[in-house]
Amino acid sequence: NTSLVWFRRDLRAFDHAALHHALRRGGKVHCAFIFDKEILDPLPRADRRVAFIHACVAELRAELQQLGGDLIVRHAAAVEEIPRLAAELGVDAVFANHDYEPQAIARDESVARALAADSRPFFTFKDQVVFEKNEVLSQAGTPFSVFTPYKNAWLRKMLAEPACLAPFDIEPHAALLAPPLPAPPPPSLEELGFQRGDLDRLGIPTGMSGGARLFEDFLSRLADYGVARDYPAVRGTSHLSLHLRFGTVSIRHLARTVAELSARGLAGEGGAVWLSELIWREFYMMILYHHPRVAVSSFKPAYDAIEWESGAEADEMFAAWCEGRTGYPLVDAAMAQLNQTGYMHNRLRMVTACFLVKDLGIDWRRGEAYFALRLNDFDLAANNGGWQWASSSGCDAQPYFRIFNPVTQSQKFDARGEFIKRHLPQLKALDHKEIHAPWTVPRAVLERKGVRLGENYPPPVVAHDEARKRTLERYAVVKAGG
């Protein structure tokens, strides 16, 4: 036997389903990663995610070499390159892990057909989630569309089947890894056509080692997660989303560690809350898998009848939102965080998404696309789920009449304005009462504190109370279906 393992969003050399199964099959096992032209070509040349993947691939290759193997790295259209490489290496089967996004499913079907034409099977495995596809269903045997019963069923299944969290061992069979081939070194970032990123400057750790460090650091804060996670000025969350996206961490390892700590009473309240977030991740993946149409349309079809703002004025409002100049400091600071670092705190993703849709009346799909371009951790299922939640069009979304007040949210979750001041230094002299709504502060006070509305900070682009009324009117078309 000779097999090929195709790495995609699973950039690790431990607890890896496809690699494990290929090695157990016996014979020799080659490993490959393709920088897929079909994915990379449309991206901006300074895409931090490509720099991140590049660093992760380098670490993965070094680790596979440590284990006696290698990683073949190519820059091509994966859909053609994988069958070509399989033929070149003379392998008799290709192994990979499941992906649940519609485009990835289509790509994999196409690769499977090309391989089958050469009598090579394409074996694929569950790896990036604990439970996939139809593994967690309602009593009626249908996919869930409400989170809480899904979560309860997920947790029951996890407890009933502890093997679901067991690691896929690599080491016992590692001797089967095919030794390095005489091949050119992997392409550099520049050869791929991308610029060096600012990962180091931003302190974003890469690879399996980076993911492990982040998780270890987070475990020391896990007990406080339930409370700390809501305050953007505090490092209350794990920052593992990027690593979960590219599989430098193992979901089984994360879930098992937290479940064990919780069972031993060592995770405080935070353990259960964090596990619940990991379940949200799987919930949205399951929704996308069962309802691929959500990638372009509302989960609740009635919401596609909403008439969004359009035209030049809406375009200008959208630009103000993207560039963080809405005049609402929490919204603007959050957009600055996104634009400067590629990360945005979860509370702020909810606030900014709600603001775009319900204060500016702009189609959630435009915001979703902007986040997709900017977020380091962009994941189609989670991003789409988040936007459909905020716009109320999704499964188990917030009701349409729930409209975040950006000032109240700011007072509640960034009471002293610490987060705002970090990203909007021109407001740093304002006190905790003034900073959430600078336009309400007397002009003379503002000027004394260096804030010139309309010059170094904008006045609000909309009045929230009026926008709220317009939104309720706009959403009247869905009232019946709620």
Please say which residue, 297 or 346, places its beta carbon nearer to ligand FAD: 346
From the candidates 364, 376, 383, 434, give the one annotated as an active-site residue: 364
Q: How far is the CB of 244 from ligand FAD (least distance, A)?
A: 4
Contact yes or no for 291/344 (Cβ under 8 A): no
Q: Does 194 bind ligand FAD (CB under 6 A)?
A: no
Contact yes or no for 159/136 (Cβ under 8 A): no
Residue type, 307: E
Query: Which residues, 388 to 417, sit near ligand FAD by CB under 6 A?
Result: 390
- Pick the binder of ligand FAD from 65, 195, 339, 346 (CB under 6 A): 346
Q: Does 378 bind ligand FAD (CB under 6 A)?
A: yes
- What CA dihedral angle connects 352, 293, 247 and 152, to 10 degrees? 80
- 389 labelled catalytic: no
Q: How far is the CB of 72 from ligand FAD (least distance, A)?
A: 29
- Piece in contact with ligand FAD (CB under 6 A), picked from 182-190, 275-283, 287-295, 333-341: 275-283
Q: Does 371 bind ligand FAD (CB under 6 A)?
A: yes
Nearest to 345 by CA among 272, 422, 236: 236
- Piece in contact with ligand FAD (CB under 6 A), picked from 54-62, 177-185, 298-306, 379-387: 379-387
Q: How far is the CB of 5 from ligand FAD (least distance, A)?
A: 24
- 154 labelled catalytic: no
Contact yes or no for 31/182 (Cβ under 8 A): no
Please say which residue, 34 or 344, places its beta carbon nearer to ligand FAD: 344
- 439 labelled catalytic: no
- Pick the binder of ligand FAD from 132, 135, 169, 277 (CB under 6 A): 277
- Pick the binder of ligand FAD from 30, 252, 349, 374 (CB under 6 A): 349
From the candidates 38, 135, 277, 309, give the one annotated as an active-site residue: 277
| Orientation of helix 78-89 relative to helix 102-117, angle to 10° | 30
CA distance 36 to 38: 5
Q: How far is the CB of 461 from ligand FAD (least distance, A)?
A: 20
- Piece in contact with ligand FAD (CB under 6 A), picked from 383-391, 411-419, 430-438, 454-462: 383-391
Query: Which residues, 195 to 254, sit near ligand FAD by CB under 6 A?
Result: 229, 237-241, 244-245
- 364 labelled catalytic: yes
Q: How far is the CB of 257 from ligand FAD (least distance, A)?
A: 13
Q: Does 99 bind ligand FAD (CB under 6 A)?
A: no
Q: Does 377 bind ligand FAD (CB under 6 A)?
A: yes
Q: Show the site string, 295-334: x = touches ligand FAD by CB under 6 A, - = not.
A: ----------------------------------------
Contact yes or no for 375/338 (Cβ under 8 A): yes
Enumerate the known binding-site residues for FAD: 225, 237-241, 274, 277-284, 377-379
Residue closest to ligand FAD (Cβ): 386
CA distance 429 to 303: 43
Please say which residue, 94 or 344, places its beta carbon nearer to ligand FAD: 344
Pair type for strands 2-7 and 72-76? unpaired
- Piece in contact with ligand FAD (CB under 6 A), picked from 293-301, 326-334, 374-382, 434-442: 374-382
- Piece in contact with ligand FAD (CB under 6 A), picked from 76-84, 115-123, 274-282, 328-336: 274-282
From the candidates 38, 346, 405, 418, give the one annotated as an active-site residue: 346
- 387 labelled catalytic: yes
Q: How far is the CB of 214 from ligand FAD (least distance, A)?
A: 9
Query: Which residues, 437 to 476, sit near ligand FAD by CB under 6 A?
Result: none
Query: Which residues, 138 to 157, sit near ligand FAD by CB under 6 A?
Result: none
- Secondary structure in 3-state letters for the chain: CEEEEEECCCCCCCCCHHHHHHHHHCCEEEEEEEEEHHHHCCCCCCCHHHHHHHHHHHHHHHHHHHCCCCCEEEEECHHHHHHHHHHHHCCCEEEEECCCCHHHHHHHHHHHHHHHHCCCCEEEECCCCCCCCCCCCCCCCCCCCCHHHHHHHHHHHHHHCHHHHCCCCCHHHHHHECCCCCCCCCCCHHHHCCCCCCHHHHCCCCHHHHHHHHHHHHHCCHHHHHHHCCCCCCCCCCCCHHHHHHCCCCHHHHHHHHHHHHHCCCCHHHHHHHHHHHHHHHHHHHHHHHCHHHHCCCCCHHHHHCCCCCCHHHHHHHHHHHCCCCCCHHHHHHHHHHHHHCCCCHHHHHHHHHHHHHHCCCCHHHHHHHHHHHCCCCCHHHHHHHHHHHCCCCCCCCCCCCCCCHHHHHHHHCCCCHHHHHHCHHHCCCCCCCCCCHHHCCHHHHHHCCCCECCCECCCCCCHHHHHHHHHHHHHHHCCCC
Count of residues interacting with ligand FAD (CB under 6 A) = 28
- Pick the binder of ligand FAD from 278, 441, 446, 462 (CB under 6 A): 278
- 376 labelled catalytic: no
Residues with catalytic annotation? 277, 280, 308, 346, 364, 387
> Which residues of this protein are in contact with ligand FAD, per CB under 6 A?
229, 237-241, 244-245, 277-278, 280-281, 284, 346, 349-350, 353, 371, 375, 377-379, 382-383, 385-387, 390
